[in-house]
Amino acid sequence: MASHPTPPLGAEQTKSGSTDSAQVRAQLQLREMILAGELAGGARIAELAIVERLGVSRTPIRAALMRLEQEGLLEALPNGGYAVRIFSERDVSESIELRGTIEGLSVRLAAERGAPQVLLGEARQCLELIDALLRRSTLDDEAFSRYVTLNERFHNLLSEMAGSDVIAKALERAASLPFASASAFVVMQANSPGARDMLVVAQDQHRQALDAIEQREGSRAEAIMREHSRLAQRNLRAAVASHNFDQMPGVRLIRKRN
């Protein structure tokens, strides 16, 4: 009987890992193209053109398109293929409301169950770094970008504190909906006159929520995070009402209310 060469240990995993990596890269690049307006709202995705543009095979592109449909950025067409979704203000508002509801539940459980001290310490350090940013009288683009990174880190830590994989996954899913993340409108509103003031208010709510968790006050923590999500609702209304609406990346996918 002829013997077959044994593939090197991990060869299949390496191939699979390479495919997964290509899909993730394609997904990130496609998402960026959509939010930057390079793929217009309502436009059909030309798969071959995307393959040529990104320089990857059709398999990871198709997987990336499926993932972006699951996120809600694309919609499947009846005859096959995908198109870039256009969202109503109501769509986005409800996505933000859903994220705030789940995050409120998460922090309530964190308070009631008792959050790990290591996570509480990391959250405090994160807020101190945000405080340092907000001490500046004005914030440039770099500072706003840094705020986004720290803000997302803080919200991720709050999610970890609940110690629930089920809720963490639900929250991750809700936050991945278009414009529903905790920082979705921060950079878009960076040049507005009240942008820094809005961040100061958000930071105070961060502090209050963390204090409620530490004091084991579940209902208070939940109410604060529900209120916190309303800042995103205000930012949504401000972005849509802006005179520069059509020049804002991403926001152009939102259909104004008639």
| Domain boundaries, given as residue ranges, for the chain | 19-85, 88-255
Query: What is the mean pLDDT of the segment spanning 83-93?
Result: 86
**pLDDT score of 213:** 98
Sign of CA dihedral 50, 43, 89, 37: positive
| Count of C-beta atoms within a 10 Å radius of residue 256 | 11
What's the CATH fold of domain 88-255?
Four Helix Bundle (Hemerythrin (Met), subunit A) (1.20.120)
pLDDT grade for 14, boundaries at 50, 70 and 90: very low
Query: What is the mean pLDDT of the segment spanning 72-80?
Result: 87
Both tokens assigned to 152: 């997302």
Q: pLDDT higher for 50 or 183?
A: 50
Which of 139-143, 177-181, 247-251 shows the lowest mean pLDDT across its residues?
A: 247-251
pLDDT at 239 over 60: yes
pLDDT at 18 over 60: no
pTM of the model: 0.72
| Count of C-beta atoms within a 10 Å radius of residue 246 | 10
Quote the mean pLDDT of the chain: 83
Distance (Å) of CA 136 to CA 13, 62, 195, 200: 48, 45, 13, 11
**pLDDT score of 244:** 57
Both tokens assigned to 113: 């169950």
Q: pLDDT higher for 247 or 204?
A: 204
pLDDT at 4 over 60: no
**pLDDT score of 129:** 97
Residues 6+ away with beta carbon under 8 Å from 78: none
Which of 30-44, 73-87, 116-130, 214-228 shows the lowest mean pLDDT across its residues?
A: 30-44
Query: What is the mean pLDDT of the segment spanning 191-208?
Result: 86
What's the CATH fold of domain 19-85?
Arc Repressor Mutant, subunit A (1.10.10)
Tokens 């409120």 identify what position? 104
pLDDT grade for 192, boundaries at 50, 70 and 90: low
- Residue 42 dihedral angles phi and psi, to the nearest 5°: 90, -10
CA 193 to chain centre: 24
Tokens 């802006």 identify what position? 242
Q: pLDDT higher for 215 or 196?
A: 215
Q: On the CB side of 52, how many CA atoms lie within 13 Å of its CA?
A: 5
For β-strands 74-76 and 82-84, DSSP reports them as antiparallel
Query: What is the mean pLDDT of the segment spanning 44-57?
Result: 90
